[in-house]
A = this chain, B = another copy of it.
Amino acid sequence: MEFKEAKNKFVQTWGALGSQWGINKTMAQIHALLMVSHEAVSMEDIMEELQISRGNASMNLRALMDWGIVYKEYKAGERREFFTAEKDLDELAVKISRERSKREIKPALKVLKEVSSIQSDNTEAEKHFVDQTTKLYDFVLKADNVLDKITEYKDNWLAKLVVKIMK
């Protein structure tokens, strides 16, 4: 396999993986492309490589920047904007984890708390509902906290976790 082929395969695979985890394909592909690019890439070049429209590129770059995992770069004497991805994988994972927690887990926890708080001195069905949603609330909260704690180590958290787990 030669470089161009390998790069393309990587971008396609990352895109597919993204879809399966609820991230749109193009967004994941742009991210993949930037991750393996040595230098910052212009929007024009992203459009060209991925064969996508200007609007698509612009919107997904914006989204990636909102996630905090892609940065704008300005080159001296260049009018155009260039883009780079966060390349440190520990940092990348921390940012994704934080964002998903903030955008998805926290709101879900709020709902879980609400629905598990209904009055239910009534039927078996109601008792079971309250019991199960309470357990779910506790579980998700605990998992969310553990993730937060783990990623707090910041530098090299995954390696540190490995050590903690194994011993």
- A-side interface residues toward B, CB under 8 Å? 1-3, 6-7, 9-10, 13, 17, 19-22, 35-38, 87, 89-90, 93, 104, 108, 111-112, 114-115, 117-118, 120, 122, 124-129, 132-133, 135-136, 139, 142-143, 145-146, 149-150, 158-159, 161-162, 164-166
As for how many copies of this chain the complex holds, the number is 2
Q: Are A146 and B129 in contact (CB under 8 A)?
A: no
Residue in contact with A22 in the complex, picked from B20, B128, B143, B162, CB distance below 8 Å: B20
Q: Are B20 and A104 in contact (CB under 8 A)?
A: yes
Q: Are A128 and B166 in contact (CB under 8 A)?
A: no
Q: Are B165 and A108 in contact (CB under 8 A)?
A: no
Jot down 26 A-B pairs with beta carbons below 8 A, ordered by A: A1-B115, A3-B122, A3-B126, A3-B129, A6-B115, A6-B133, A9-B114, A10-B112, A10-B129, A13-B111, A17-B108, A20-B104, A21-B22, A22-B22, A35-B136, A36-B128, A36-B129, A36-B132, A38-B124, A38-B127, A87-B132, A89-B136, A93-B143, A142-B162, A149-B166, A164-B165
